Structure 1
Amino acid sequence: IFRHRDNGESSQKISEALQYVKNNDLLYQEYQDTPKQQDIKQQRLNENFNPGFKTGTAVASPGVQLQLRNAQSLRLWQNLEAVQDSGLLPGLSQNEIIVQETMFELITSEASYYKSLEILETHFLQNPNLMNTLSQSDAHFLFSNIEEVMKASERFLMDLECRIEGSILISDVCDIVYQHAVKHFDVFIKYVINQRYQEKTYRRILEENQTFRETMADLEKHPCVKGLSFTSFLILPFQRITKLKLLVQNILKKTDKNTDREETAIKAYKQLEQIVKECNDGVRKMNRTEELISIEKTLEFKSKSVPIISHSRWLVKKGEVQLMTGPKTTRTTRKPKLHQPVYLYLFNNLFLITKRSGDRFQVMDSSARSMLRTEDHEDQGQLLANVFTLKILENQDKSSVLYMIQTSSMSEKLRWMHALTPNRRTRFMPSGSHQEDFPQVQCIMSYSAQEPDEVAAEIGDVFNVLEHTNDGWTMGERLHDKERGWFPSRVVEEIKSKEVRVQNLREAFKVQQTHKGEGGPQSESRTGFKAGKLHSKASNFSSLWTKHSNN
């Protein structure tokens, strides 16, 4: 591997590289967003055609990228002394350097993650003053199986360190990921599913237990936690298993086809995807059940009641809108009431129109979700702004009913229409069309979904844009998992470069082939890429985005 050096000096250099991994003093909370932010900075420079950056490539020139990352105390694989002295770099392709960087990031971020887990264990879990304030059951719910999670990370990190100790040119890491995902990573599922109880327990103890509250405040002030909160340590396992999946996905995107490395990347990605799915499904099932129980307690049916709680039911959207009753004849001189506030509950298979009375909701009408149709109306002045028609083909009384609904904003109108009739066409991606160059945006700040029809977004996520409103909301489909939902336009920025958009589609298409079995490449993908044929539709979006994205 090392040219013009004897084995002893080579081993010493490799050990120095390993020590960098071991001595990395960044906590995982500090580390995890830095590479994503770097990618976004780089993409901005790409699109502005700055010197040192090649349009459409994924990595900047080493000198520029090192300068950007040094601000965050991170180092690139290609700038390690062992790599610089080895003479390897001139013989490596740009794509191989990218893969090496991604594998190195997986190793260094695991080291940061383990360091943060150590603080959670030694500074919090093993602190006698803190544990003396907790009952045995509270301690169990608060820390769950974190010690098992930590042991899994320790074993994983040891194998990763052995790999980099054996050679500074990393042959693969996905084989190690796959082995540990199969044998040890099931501990993540138990921990993540328990997080709902963990959060509730922590809030309750903070409120009820003054001694715990004071002790925790003192522990959070200690220099070793670097000003981070206790809860930022508790959520680490779910953040890590999700991040691992994305790192392996990035390796898969850049790995040459029909190679051993691609095969192990596919196996590791599938295994991690299954673990993340089980985590999400477990959490989602618990949240949905609790939500249905809470809703059912507040509903009052005029006649025949409808059972709300069901294993196959979940809430899609809820909220208050105005029901437009229209002018009516009256014997008095008072103006007729044009609007009646109603509260809508939309489930995946049921729709309720209710009238709020304090904390109770009286059901006025109901139907199956499949019986709903919507029609948009152009704004006709303030009184008729943000209005759409809702038609129930068959309601609870076996009748067809027409309602005029008014919302508080344009975005709310579109969100309700897409929720009520999810198969309606979107502005930028008509149903059944998969081959156009659709507008894309990239997330520049994390966003946690606040409503059921929203989608959580992490820094670096790329979305195809489906809808964009003039009051600051965007509906998108994330490329790597095709999850759809709304998010504030302020948390993303438009990807203007067509070359970058095409590259994003190709990479997403490659990842999606892991689900296609052995049947070979598919003719088309929901991401919008088909046999390299692109028709620009993104240009129609640019002026709209420029005009409204800062609202």
Structure 2
Amino acid sequence: FVSSSIIETGKGNSRILSSMSKANHEVHTKTNLVTVASCPKASPVQCELMQSNCPFPHYFSTTLFSCNLSYLLCSFLGLLYQEYRDKSTREEIETRRLQDSQTDPEETSPSEETPSEAEPTSTIENKAPPQINLLRNSNSRFNLWQDLPEVQSSGVLSILQPDEIKLQEAMFELVTSEASYYKSLNLLVSHFMENERLKKILHQSEAHILFSNVLDVMAVSERFLLDLEQRVEENIVISDVCDIVYQHTVNHFSVYITYVSNQTYQERAYKQLLQDKPAFREVISQLELDPKCKGLSFSSFLILPFQRITRLKLLVQNILKKVEEKSDRESTALDAHKELETVVKACNEGVRKMSRTEQMISIQKKLEFKIKSVPIISHSRWLLKQGELQQMNGPKTSRTLRTKKLFREIYLFLFNDLLVICRQIPGDKYQVFDSAPRGLLRVEELEDQGQSLANVFILRLLENADDREASYMLKASSQSEMKRWMISLAPNRRTKFVSFTSRLVDCPQIQCVHPYVAQQPDELSLELADVLNILDKTDDGWIFGERLHDQERGWFPSSMGEEILNPKIRAQNLKECFRVHKSDDSQRRKLGSRNRQ
């Protein structure tokens, strides 16, 4: 068996080797175990599992497995990515709820560590093969790695350690979710983009804006999926997938930046077409009603690439949390994560660039300067917050004045590097009467000053438009609005709770149970199952949070989430994030990162 049964052919391709001697394997027998010392594909676990009298023929023979894998992936293609993603995140939420209700996080399933798209896996004793029953739906079409007939019949589940099984599930999940994503992309192209009626309605330029380079994105996904499938076919116990992710991210994933950067144009064009072309609206409605779409909207297909590239980064994070520390697989996962993070940031920046430019032009047209004019439009400037506040009239000693005109309306435009203070004038215009660099702003909250001075804070300009210090006593409409202004005006001001970067483990945390779309520049859009540190909160239902997986900050309604009460789970979440975001390149090089020429 050892010398001849590792002939692994799948779809006509030699998967590993034609014989043991061809791989220059050194075989050592010890307590009926065979160690393969120099196989480039075999993990330490795989090496130890090779037995001289191997009872696991399916484990090493992937001819049959490759055929079944293709069938399996086809069955996964029955799930559209939107369904796959929604179901998995909701199951993740339920898993975290279960963890939070238990005393010891070690008693819960491995999904506690993951923004996962697969069903959670329960931790069991080493003596018995692990079984996954948590949240199992009899109608679910989700399959786990350990549910594969080849895996179950091979007996490897009784030999692999629970941590290795969790890692296998995380890697297998990345493969199956890519299959589901490719299915949805294919439907976007074949069902919508290539529809003959739609082609006749749309001009070529309109179709280009609406669908952008989706064909390039689909081609990249197809190549990526084929490489992932080939890796799984090589052996039932997957050696790694992050090296494949790294190669494709570096060499091919720039197509995502192009697609996502077009998002603002795409959304505008879609809305305009719905408004101006009844025939377009009618065809889209009919296509959406097709059973193939499973009740999903056309727009849900258009945003797939941005959702996928973001989720792919989270899936690699999930793998990174499970690989052995200071190992080659950890180094590879860190490299893949770093490259994906670069692509995601470029996608975000591409989306923001156009909307910011248009917004700055619009603001510039509305401003009339009573003081020396300040150029508003700049490539490095963008709006952080705008809105109306009440300014106290008269000197600061007039806090006790009993007059109906104690406060007067002013309007603030806060940019990332500049504050502009205005009064609104007729014609939707704003007259600027003061300004200051953002770095020269200080804020101070007034406490216990009575009902008339509730939600009042002091804004100090260390150097204003007249090159002198100025102070404004400002009143917000609510406590949350006051805190939001104070944090935006002075971002380095200490918040109520300690941030993620402080490395203190007892920071309050919350997980998102309802998606939220930001309505203001200082707000944070949330996806289901996001976990955030709570940096500040208000009595009227707002939270200032820092998302763990990307460290983005912003405000959101407290009703969007559920607080994580178990301190062990909170500490575990922080520990995992510190590991994911460590960026000491010199240390990573010492781990023996693979040559990626």
| TM-score calculated relative to the size of structure 1 | 0.88
- How far apart are residue 339 of structure 1 and its match? 2.0
1:121 aligns with 2:189: yes
Residue-pair matches, total: 516
Percent identical across equivalent pairs?
52
Mapping of 1:375-390 within 5 angstroms?
375-390=444-459
When residues 425 and 121 of structure 1 are mapped into structure 2, their CA distance, relative to the original with a 3 A threshold, is same
Aligned to 1:36: 89
Among 392, 395, 406, the alignment partner of 1:324 is 392
Aligned to 1:190: 258
Residue pair 1:316, 1:453 contacting (<8 A) in 2 also: yes
Among 500, 511, 520, the alignment partner of 1:451 is 520
Single out whichever of 161-170 and 67-76 deviates more from structure 2: 67-76
Give the letter for the 2:237 counterpart. L
- How far apart are residue 354 of structure 1 and its match? 1.3
Give the letter for the 1:15 counterpart. C
In structure 2, C-alpha distance between the alignment counterparts of 1:114 and 1:94, rounded to whole Å: 30
Mapping of 1:104-119 within 5 angstroms?
104-119=172-187
Among 151, 154, 157, the alignment partner of 2:222 is 154
Aligned to 1:80: 148
When residues 431 and 165 of structure 1 are mapped into structure 2, their CA distance, relative to the original with a 3 A threshold, is closer
- How far apart are residue 258 of structure 1 and its match? 2.7
Aligned to 1:402: 471
Single out whichever of 477-486 and 67-76 deviates more from structure 2: 67-76
In structure 1, C-alpha distance between the alignment counterparts of 2:305 and 2:452, rounded to whole Å: 50
1:490 aligns with 2:542: no
When residues 497 and 313 of structure 1 are mapped into structure 2, their CA distance, relative to the original with a 3 A threshold, is same
The SS at the match of 1:313 is: coil
Give the letter for the 2:453 counterpart. L
Aligned to 1:438: 507
Aligned to 1:543: none
Residue pair 2:361, 2:377 contacting (<8 A) in 1 also: yes
Give the letter for the 1:76 counterpart. L
Residue pair 2:543, 2:555 contacting (<8 A) in 1 also: yes
In structure 2, C-alpha distance between the alignment counterparts of 1:405 and 1:73, rounded to whole Å: 57
Moved over 6 A (4+): 50-53
Among 107, 122, 141, the alignment partner of 1:54 is 107
Aligned to 1:462: 531
Residue pair 2:371, 2:432 contacting (<8 A) in 1 also: no
- How far apart are residue 338 of structure 1 and its match? 1.6
- How far apart are residue 100 of structure 1 and its match? 1.1
In structure 2, C-alpha distance between the alignment counterparts of 1:291 and 1:120, rounded to whole Å: 31
In structure 1, C-alpha distance between the alignment counterparts of 2:436 and 2:104, rounded to whole Å: 60
1:287 aligns with 2:340: no
- How far apart are residue 217 of structure 1 and its match? 1.2
Aligned to 1:476: 545
- How far apart are residue 451 of structure 1 and its match? 1.3
Aligned to 2:9: none
In structure 2, C-alpha distance between the alignment counterparts of 1:212 and 1:382, rounded to whole Å: 56
1:45 aligns with 2:78: no
The SS at the match of 1:403 is: strand
- How far apart are residue 40 of structure 1 and its match? 2.2
Residue pair 1:193, 1:282 contacting (<8 A) in 2 also: yes
Aligned to 1:243: 311
In structure 1, C-alpha distance between the alignment counterparts of 2:69 and 2:587, rounded to whole Å: 42
Give the letter for the 1:428 counterpart. F
Cα deviation per residue 1:321-351 (whole Å; 9 max; x = unaligned)? Answer: 11122599xxxxx954122122111111111
- How far apart are residue 166 of structure 1 and its match? 2.4
Aligned to 1:547: none
Aligned to 2:26: none
Residue pair 1:56, 1:499 contacting (<8 A) in 2 also: no
Give the letter for the 2:584 counterpart. K
- How far apart are residue 168 of structure 1 and its match? 2.0
1:21 aligns with 2:83: no
Residue pair 2:499, 2:507 contacting (<8 A) in 1 also: no
Aligned to 1:361: 430
In structure 2, C-alpha distance between the alignment counterparts of 1:381 and 1:209, rounded to whole Å: 57
Among 242, 252, 267, the alignment partner of 1:174 is 242
Cα deviation per residue 1:387-421 (whole Å; 9 max; x = unaligned)? Answer: 11112222112232221111111111001001111
The SS at the match of 2:544 is: strand
Cα deviation per residue 1:341-394 (whole Å; 9 max; x = unaligned)? Answer: 221111111111111234111112211112211110125443221111112222
Cα deviation per residue 1:14-70 (whole Å; 9 max; x = unaligned)? Answer: 532441222221100111133332222122212323999815853425655454355
The SS at the match of 2:524 is: coil
In structure 2, C-alpha distance between the alignment counterparts of 1:428 and 1:279, rounded to whole Å: 31
In structure 1, C-alpha distance between the alignment counterparts of 2:165 and 2:501, rounded to whole Å: 38
In structure 1, C-alpha distance between the alignment counterparts of 2:321 and 2:237, rounded to whole Å: 19
Give the letter for the 1:60 counterpart. S
Single out whichever of 244-253 and 432-441 deviates more from structure 2: 432-441
In structure 1, C-alpha distance between the alignment counterparts of 2:546 and 2:500, rounded to whole Å: 13
Single out whichever of 393-402 and 195-204 deviates more from structure 2: 393-402
In structure 2, C-alpha distance between the alignment counterparts of 1:245 and 1:289, rounded to whole Å: 28
1:133 aligns with 2:186: no
Residue pair 2:62, 2:236 contacting (<8 A) in 1 also: no
The SS at the match of 1:32 is: helix
In structure 2, C-alpha distance between the alignment counterparts of 1:71 and 1:414, rounded to whole Å: 47
1:4 aligns with 2:55: yes
Give the letter for the 1:19 counterpart. Y
Residue pair 2:455, 2:479 contacting (<8 A) in 1 also: yes
The SS at the match of 2:514 is: coil
Residue pair 2:62, 2:233 contacting (<8 A) in 1 also: no
Give the letter for the 2:546 counterpart. E
- How far apart are residue 6 of structure 1 and its match? 4.0
In structure 2, C-alpha distance between the alignment counterparts of 1:422 and 1:327, rounded to whole Å: 27
The SS at the match of 2:107 is: coil
Give the letter for the 2:542 counterpart. W
| TM-score calculated relative to the size of structure 2 | 0.81
Residue pair 2:500, 2:546 contacting (<8 A) in 1 also: no
When residues 281 and 142 of structure 1 are mapped into structure 2, their CA distance, relative to the original with a 3 A threshold, is same
- How far apart are residue 242 of structure 1 and its match? 0.8
Give the letter for the 1:460 counterpart. A
1:426 aligns with 2:488: no
Q: In terms of Rg, which structure is larger?
A: 2
- How far apart are residue 296 of structure 1 and its match? 0.6
The SS at the match of 2:142 is: coil
In structure 2, C-alpha distance between the alignment counterparts of 1:341 and 1:455, rounded to whole Å: 27
- How far apart are residue 10 of structure 1 and its match? 6.2
- How far apart are residue 99 of structure 1 and its match? 1.1
